[in-house]
């Protein structure tokens, strides 16, 4: 039975409060601690529900969001009471991490704080332990996106594990003596288990969410599934549309080359708006021409943002679909045109590497053109079909997350800093309404 949004919050609050009261009763019997922890759980869960309702109204639209939230929260409460030493065996932090990875990092942080306050009120003997877990919970939520990705999970895990040991060392007065009452090895491995379990559950969720998405005619929800579906639709349309053959394009004098290895045409000449190839693209399809101009312009400025080759990125955006003027297999036809016109080798690489189904990017500029084309096409598709209700910022965030998770740009040379700067650039660009509503 599906739980509606209207009754979800009351159910979450009531079950969490009753669960804590029951577990506390089984642990200590009747007493003031039972009332104290029950009221604390009620208030903290109410604050989390308030955040869901008034600050992230669409958060529960994500696939399995309500089930994940309830299972994560309740199981963490149970684990807090079941483990013999929650200061060392902190498996109860897994629920907040899973919510951060699968639903929303800020909501996951709120749940982490709820559980830590519950731990501090009912279990912690020292204030230092509460501070340690507050810092670890915040760091887990901040790194949750990197912990869910195969390409960055190792680095994020190293940061968290080393931070945990360092904090434990500080909180225990710089003493590594096990007789002092703190087991560093057990603490290290308990955090490692949490991170490994979170990563495994994240991959499992992505598998089942994608499977369920494919069964539905009208997919509803968050995550990257609809963006993967939309990407596949675009590529299928590009490959299936049969374009009428036109006269073979003849090279201009500036780009004339009779054999491989001949003179190359500079990017300065190719980005000239009056270039013969661009004019032929415009005559072939005004819509395709406008798309190329937009992708070229945005790609060039995106490259400038991270100090990449602006001219190369702009040229790559302008000509990424030039092959459509000759045939249905636009990448192969585009490479033929590129050879005829003496395109630089890096520009030819962009023509075949902007489409993930053909080849992964091996340079930063190819990655930029792919991102720009993905962002522009996805926003146009979603706003045109109106099948999904996403903000442009959310669309861009999902595209970047999907590319990171798939390791699409592992060979492109893009750094984590470049990735962050590019995402911020696209979000600024499209929040200003680059595309027509």
pLDDT tens for each residue of 215-265? 433 333 334 445 555 555 454 444 443 333 333 334 443 343 333 344 567
DSSP designation for 328: S
pLDDT tens for each residue of 57-95? 556 766 778 888 999 999 999 999 998 888 888 899 999
| Two structure tokens written together for 110 | 């709120």
Q: Check pLDDT > 80 for residue 127.
A: yes
* CB of 348 closer than 8 Å to CB of 268: no
**How far is residue 169's CA from residue 137's CA, in Å, rounded to a whole number?**
17
pLDDT at 295: 94
How many other C-beta atoms can be found within 10 angstroms of the C-beta atom of residue 27? 13
**How far is residue 61's CA from residue 58's CA, in Å, rounded to a whole number?**
5
pLDDT at 358: 79
Residues 6+ apart with CB under 8 A from 190: 88, 89, 90, 91
pLDDT at 433: 55
Alpha helices in 29-152 (DSSP H): 32-54, 65-82, 94-102, 105-122, 127-142, 144-147
* Comparison of pLDDT for 235 and 27, the residue scoring more: 27
Closest CA to 96 of 134, 59, 140, 51: 140
pLDDT at 256: 39
End-to-end CA distance of the chain: give it in Å, rounded.
38
Distances in Å between the Cα of 53 and the Cα atoms of 57, 60, 103 are 5, 9, 14
Closest CA to 117 of 19, 23, 36: 36
- Report the topology of domain 225-431: Hypothetical protein af1432 (1.10.3210)
Banded model confidence at residue 312, pLDDT cuts 50, 70, 90 = very high
pLDDT at 262: 46
Per domain, the residue ranges of the chain are 5-215, 225-431
pTM equals: 0.52
pLDDT at 192: 93
Taking residues 303-324, what's their average pLDDT?
Answer: 92
Residues 6+ apart with CB under 8 A from 82: none
* CB of 89 closer than 8 Å to CB of 83: yes
* CB of 176 closer than 8 Å to CB of 169: yes
Taking residues 404-420, what's their average pLDDT?
Answer: 86
* CB of 334 closer than 8 Å to CB of 355: no
pLDDT tens for each residue of 361-407? 999 999 999 999 999 988 888 877 776 667 888 889 888 888 888 88
Banded model confidence at residue 56, pLDDT cuts 50, 70, 90 = low
**What is the radius of gyration, based on Cα positions, of the chain?**
27
């Amino acid at each position: 039975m599906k739980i509606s949004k209207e009754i979800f919050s009351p159910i979450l609050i009531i079950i969490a409060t009753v669960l804590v009261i029951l577990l506390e009763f089984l642990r200590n019997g009747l007493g003031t601690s039972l009332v104290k922890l029950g009221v604390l759980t009620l208030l903290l869960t109410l604050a989390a529900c308030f955040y869901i309702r008034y600050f992230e109204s669409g958060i529960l639209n994500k696939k399995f969001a309500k089930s994940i939230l309830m299972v994560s929260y309740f199981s963490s409460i149970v684990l807090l009471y079941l483990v013999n030493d929650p200061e060392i065996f902190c498996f109860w932090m897994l629920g907040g991490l899973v919510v951060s990875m699968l639903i929303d990092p800020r909501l996951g942080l709120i749940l982490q704080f709820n559980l830590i306050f519950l731990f501090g009120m009912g279990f912690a003997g020292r204030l230092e332990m509460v501070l340690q877990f507050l810092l670890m919970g915040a760091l887990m939520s901040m790194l949750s996106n990197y912990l869910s990705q195969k390409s960055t999970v190792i680095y994020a895990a190293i940061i968290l594990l080393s931070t945990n040991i360092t904090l434990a060392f500080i909180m225990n007065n710089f003493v590594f003596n096990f007789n002092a009452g703190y087991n560093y090895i057990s603490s290290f491995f308990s955090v490692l288990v949490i991170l490994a379990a979170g990563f495994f559950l994240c991959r499992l969720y992505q598998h089942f969410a994608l499977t369920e998405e494919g069964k539905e005619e009208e997919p509803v929800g968050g995550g990257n599934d609809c963006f993967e579906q939309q990407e596949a639709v675009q590529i299928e349309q590009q490959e299936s549309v049969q374009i009428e053959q036109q006269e073979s394009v003849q090279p201009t004098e500036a780009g004339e080359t009779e054999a491989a290895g001949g003179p190359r045409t500079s990017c300065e000449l190719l980005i000239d708006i009056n270039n013969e190839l661009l004019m032929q693209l415009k005559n072939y399809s005004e819509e395709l021409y406008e798309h190329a101009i937009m992708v070229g312009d945005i790609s060039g400025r995106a490259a400038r943002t991270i100090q990449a080759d602006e001219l190369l990125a702009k040229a790559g955006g302008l000509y990424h679909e030039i092959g459509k003027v000759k045939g249905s297999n636009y990448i192969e036809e585009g490479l033929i045109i590129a050879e005829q016109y003496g395109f630089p080798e890096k520009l030819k690489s962009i023509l075949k590497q902007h489409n993930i189904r053909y080849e992964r990017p091996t340079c930063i500029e190819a990655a930029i053109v792919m991102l720009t084309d993905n962002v522009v096409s996805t926003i146009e598709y979603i706003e045109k079909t109106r099948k999904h209700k996403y903000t442009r910022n959310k669309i861009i965030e999902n595209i970047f997350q999907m590319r990171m998770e798939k390791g699409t740009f592992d060979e492109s040379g893009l750094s984590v800093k470049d990735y962050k700067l590019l995402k911020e650039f696209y979000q600024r660009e499209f929040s200003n309404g680059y595309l027509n509503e």
